[in-house]
Structure 1
Amino acid sequence: MASKVGFLGFAVLIVVVLAATSNDGVSADGCEGDLRGLTSRCAQYVLKIGPKIRPSRGCCDVVRKVDIPCVCRQVTPEIEKLVSIKKVLYVAQFCGKDVPHGTKCGSKYS
């Protein structure tokens, strides 16, 4: 159930990135990684509504291969209405993905 609810929020976050992404997973903006996998495996962990929960191993496997600061640069105010940037940063950090202090993600900073 949580994955169905969470999918919507993260899908919105990734929609902007995917719009500029070629079929091989590398965007025109230089964001690299499995962005489709990021959507399918991590959606439930970043939706604004609901509690903060630890991401799965599958989610972390994908997160480690994605350029999080690049994805963060794609976040619009509309996306922030559905996705918790604090949760996005939490998931990245929990999964061992370095997000440099001061990185801007939407309107928030790490």
Structure 2
Amino acid sequence: MTFSNKSCLVLATIFMVGILISSQQVSSQECGGALQGLMNNCAPFVGKMGPQTDPSQACCDAVKAADVPCVCQHLPPGIELIVSLEKVVYVAKFCGKTLPGGTKCGSYTIPPSSAFEIEE
């Protein structure tokens, strides 16, 4: 049985949602509940598999409503196995919420060249 890229993405997304929900209910509360909206709307754009693509408007709306630095500080353990933090930074920047250079998002450090202040 072979899986298409789409099937693998769906499985990875389901796996990611399971990890996030089961391991860090507190982080969602600490970050204003934004984590659920980010998971629902941005998962296809931040998965490790597949190319980097521009996020949807729904994803950008979720990013704009989120406290991105808080989410970065409270990423669940193991999330980096299925989520590309480089893509997370790209999506945040595309949507107008970029973290300052040197900021840690999980184990990923934001490069200085991709940074500017977050507009809250």
Shorter-normalised TM-score: what interval? 0.7 to 0.9
- 1:8 Cα deviation from its structure 2 partner: 3.1
Write out per-residue CA displacement over residues 17-43 of structure 1, whole angstroms, 9 at most, x where no aligned residue: 4x115xxxx61xx31253222111111
- 1:13 Cα deviation from its structure 2 partner: 6.6
The aligned amino acid for 2:31 is C
Query: Structure 1 length as normaliser, TM-score?
Result: 0.77
Q: Secondary structure at the match of 2:50?
A: coil
Query: Structure 2 length as normaliser, TM-score?
Result: 0.72
Structure 2 unaligned runs (5+)? 1-5, 111-120
Aligned residues: 103
Distance (whole Å) between structure 1 residues aligned to residue 31 and residue 80 of structure 2: 19
Distance (whole Å) between structure 1 residues aligned to residue 44 and residue 15 of structure 2: 8
| Higher relative contact order structure (alpha carbons within 8 Å, sequence separation ≥ 6) | 1
Matched, 1:8 2:14: yes
The structure whose residues are more often helix, as a share, is: 2
Which one has the largest radius of gyration? Answer: 2
Distance (whole Å) between structure 2 residues aligned to residue 85 and residue 13 of structure 1: 16
The aligned amino acid for 1:101 is G
Q: CA RMSD in A?
A: 2.4
Identity rate of aligned residues, in percent? 42
The aligned amino acid for 1:11 is V
